Structure formats: structure tokens, C-alpha cells
Amino acid sequence: MVKTALITGAASGLGYELSLLLAQDSYNLILVDIDFDKLHLVKQEINKANNCKVDVLVKDLSMPNVAVEIFEAIKNVSIDVLINNAGFGLFGPFNNTEWHRELDMIHVHVITSTHLTKLLLEGMIKRGSGKILNISSLAAFQPGPLMAIYYASKSYLLSFSEAIANELKGTGVTVTVLCPGPTKTAFQEVVSESAADNKIGFNMACPSEVALYGYEAMQKGKTVAIPGFLNKFLASLHRFVSRDMATTIVRNLQEKNRKA
């Protein structure tokens, strides 16, 4: 029986890479993104190379009730895999950043991801099977000065995912949260003060490799997936130093990495 996956933020980055992996495994796809042109290019690319059905939904995930709009658009389709990938970052002191962008971020990372999960979870539980992959970040494990809302929202995704993964034991539904470190995607340019890539490049991961790591973890039903030994160490930094020191280290790294 053919299965169907819904991926948000599917037009680029990890969402794009995960869509390719799902297509290679013959999943039908529902790709969601705000970028009309890129989304349709991805659809064409996947259709040329794979024997699967690809539908697209052009949606702004920062809008209130967009999860309901998506759910209504796909209500006749059984979703076997949900990947909450859409997201973006914002760099700068909290008192200087624009509230409307931070509110959009909270909607995309927290509200829409949570609401979509809630809407699709009931059907998964009734069928006794389903997989949810939430894309968090290494940022989830400590506070992030100069990217305060981004770090906090990714921390929410980590905590939320772990909690419902525990609740869903024995239902046939699994929840995985992928927490990558810096990954070479357009995200890095958006959150830097200059157009250049990150200045710290030694721990920069390949998006296709990160996506494969998360995809395999999801298929195995693993709860928390952190790709890379160094990232696993950094995720546990608070065990070795005080939270205040860990926060200071993160700030120093942000300043070195992203300031023009």
C-alpha cells in the first residue's frame, strides 16, 4: 500500500532533501512551502526521477489557522508521515529585532507545527501507525543570546517531541526530533549580518547527510537524533559547565560567527 508524507518547508534545505528521500522510497508527497516557484520546481524534479504522486500547497505557515487550512485541503488523504521542517532564524539583540518577524517565527516553529501534529495525530492513532519528524536544532539545548527566540522555539520543539513520543508508546505512532548543528543551507546566510557564509566552518554539515541521518532515525522510531559526535558533545555542554557559562560560550560563538 502506498504511503503519503506531508513535508513543510519542502522547497529548500532539509525539507527538500527529506522530500527526495521519501520519493526514493515511493511515498506520495504533499509538499508545503510559501515559495511558489521553488515548490513547483521541486515537484517537477521529483516527478522526473521517481514514480510517486506529488501535490503542492503554497501556504504561509506564519498565518493564524494555517494548519486548519492544510488539514482541510488534505482531509481525504491518510497521512503516514508528517515532517514539521519549516523554519527560519533571526540574528540580533532582542531589544533591536522586529517583533513581527519574531511573532512569525513563533507561529511557524511552535504554533503551526504543534497544531498540524494535533490535527494529524488522531488519524495516525486510529490506524495504529504513523511517523512524525520535527526539525529542531542543536540550539534547543541551551539559551541563545542574539538569537533568543530562535533558540527558545527550538527548545520547545525538543521538549514537545520528547513528551508526546512518551505518550504515544504502544500506539504504533512514533515521534522523532532531529537536532542538527550548523548545516550548509540558505538559513546560514539569512541569520548573518553579511551575505557571506558562517565564519566558523569546521562543524558545517552537508544537508543531504543530515537529512539522511534524520530520515533513518525517524524510520527506526528513535526519539532524539543528533548528527555528529561534536554536536552530541555540545548538546551536553551544560553537564560540564554552568548554564551561565554555557550561555556565554554560545553568545561568543554567535558574535564571532554571524557579525559582519
Q: What global pTM score does this model have? A: 0.91
Q: Give the confidence band of 195 by pLDDT, cuts at 50, 70, 90.
A: very low
Q: Looking at this protein, which amino acid is placed at residue 119?
A: L
* Mean local confidence (pLDDT), 201-213: 84
- Per the structure, the complete domain to which residue 126 belongs is given by 4-258
Note the pLDDT of residue 198.
Answer: 53
Measured CA distances, 36 to 9, 98, 165, 204 (Å): 11, 25, 33, 28
What's the structural domain count of the chain? 1
Q: Give the confidence band of 256 by pLDDT, cuts at 50, 70, 90.
A: confident
Instruction: Indicate the SS3 state at residue 135.
Output: strand
Answer yes or no: is pLDDT of 87 > 80.
yes
Which residues share a beta bridge with 55?
Answer: 30
- Domain with residue 211: its CATH number is 3.40.50.720
Answer yes or no: is pLDDT of 187 > 90.
no
Answer yes or no: is pLDDT of 194 > 80.
no
Conformational region of residue 169, where left means phi above 0, alpha means psi within -120 to 50, and beta covers everything else: beta
> What is the average pLDDT score of the chain?
92
